Amino acid sequence: EAMTEPLPEASNSNFGKESVQAALKIMSSRKTALAIGPGISTTEDTAHFFYEILRGSTLPTVVDADGITLISENLDILKGIKSPTILTPHPGEMSRLIGKTTEHIQKDRVGVARDFSSMYNVFTVLKGARTVVSTPDGRVFINPTGNPGMASGGMGDVLTGIIGGFLAQGYSPEDACILGVFSHGLAGDLAADKRGQAGIIAGDVADSLPHALKTILHERRENFFHRIR
């Protein structure tokens, strides 16, 4: 079950400057991974909190949603990060990160993800049909699982949690990305088989995750992705 830790808040109910040291102290106490971004907002106080957490953290990190928006406003922050970092943008978020149109991104998803990872020394999970995973050293993997019914709110948040969970278990960032994206898509496929693609929501994917992981372990799939050389 999820455990919660209280943090000081600013007068506007967002993360305040006092939250930074409190959060870093919590993170230094037997924590093994950081997942950050969904739902944090993009206010000035939160931006300060977010940037200081990224600078101060030594944990493997996965960033999504509002966190990606904040990074797009301050790309230099990526140059000062100490820990392995994963970004999980959808095409619209990637558009803000690189200053190109979504059409440009969709025409060359592999190239865009690979170039961004190489330039900023991060792992990139470019979401969408056939999600692309790229590594800082230029390798790329394409995910075969998932379906159009997963193009709905909250799906990316579930993926962030899954990748963060694998990081917390000690998987390398590369393996956490690959296993996370594959199992997330497979859970979506299992949910669609049960409810139909038009009817699935993010909670259905989360509920189907144990079945997806059991399927992967049972079949002992060793080559989840097709690698682009």
Among residues 55, 26, 53, the alpha carbon closest in space to that of 40 is found at 53
The pLDDT confidence band at residue 54, using thresholds 50, 70 and 90, is very high
Please report, rounded to a whole number, the percentage of residues in the chain having pLDDT higher than 70.
Answer: 96
pLDDT at 104 over 50: yes
3-state secondary structure of 132: strand
The DSSP output letter for 76 is G
- Higher-confidence position of 199 and 114: 114
Kindly report, residue by residue over 124-137, the tens digit of the pLDDT.
999 999 999 999 99
Sequence-ordered list of residues with C-beta below 8 angstroms from that of 92, at least 6 positions apart, any chain: 102
Among residues 90, 100, 45, 83, the alpha carbon closest in space to that of 69 is found at 90
Average pLDDT for 85-105: 98
pLDDT at 229 over 50: no
Task: Report the distance separating Cα 123 and Cα 86, nearest Å.
Answer: 5
Task: Report the distance separating Cα 19 and Cα 72, nearest Å.
Answer: 22
What's the whole-model pTM score?
Answer: 0.94
Task: Report the distance separating Cα 151 and Cα 165, nearest Å.
Answer: 22
Average pLDDT for 15-34: 91
Average pLDDT for 45-71: 97
**CA 14, chain centre distance (Å):** 22
pLDDT at site 10: 76
pLDDT at site 162: 98
pLDDT at site 224: 54
